[in-house]
Amino acid sequence: MSNTTFTMLKPDTIRNQNTGAILDMIIKSGFKIKAMKFTKMSIDQASIFYSIHKERPFFNDLINYMTSGPIVAAILEKDNAVDDFRKLIGSTNPEEAAEGTIRRLFAKSISENAVHGSDSDENAKIECDFHFSDQEIF
């Protein structure tokens, strides 16, 4: 899976009608869409997806935010996908994100920060498997 990463366009992206603009940036940056769905995570699903953060002070707010509305989940393919996608989205805090990155352009705060991107090949595989079955990947 070293050429694969996983993303979610988070609920603020859908609410603010930035879905199309962000997908366009992703595609124009050379990522191929291998799978995609418009869905909404339950509290249980979001708690499992973000279980690595369960001891963090922001965990409850994160789960409430990520279940506050629909998301777009997608599997993306490109050489060096994980690192290149993290570069395209920018730092977690949009105030620290580089000019031209998705979070710099579209995120409102460190919590409501527009997009998710996997942080390693290992987590990309776990996250792709969490959201998609084999029949949904092309």
Residues 59-98 that bind Mg ion (CB under 5 A): none
Select the binding partner of residue 2 from ligand UDP, Mg ion, none (C-beta < 5 to 8 A, by kind). none
How many Cα atoms sit within 13 Å of 100 on the Cβ side?
A: 3
Shortest spacing between CB 135 and Mg ion, in angstroms: 27
Beta-sheet pairing, 4-9 with 71-77: antiparallel
Q: What are 77's two structure tokens?
A: 């393919």
Shortest spacing between CB 65 and Mg ion, in angstroms: 14
Shortest spacing between CB 2 and Mg ion, in angstroms: 18
Task: Give the 3-state secondary structure of residue 77.
Answer: strand
Binding residue for ligand UDP, selected from 1, 110, 126, 137, defined by CB under 6 A: 110
Residues 62-91 that bind ligand UDP (CB under 6 A): 62
Strand ranges in 52-123 using DSSP code E only, listed in sequence order: 71-77, 115-117
Of 20-28, 39-47, 76-84, 113-121, which segment contacts ligand UDP by CB under 6 A? 113-121
Cα separation, 112 vs 93, whole angstroms: 9
Binding residue for ligand UDP, selected from 111, 123, 129, 137, defined by CB under 6 A: 111
Contacts of 88 (CB under 8 A, 6+ apart): 25, 26, 29, 101, 102, 117
Chain residues that interact with ligand UDP, rule: CB under 6 A: 53, 58, 62, 92, 110-111, 113, 116, 119
Chain residues that interact with Mg ion, rule: CB under 5 A: 119
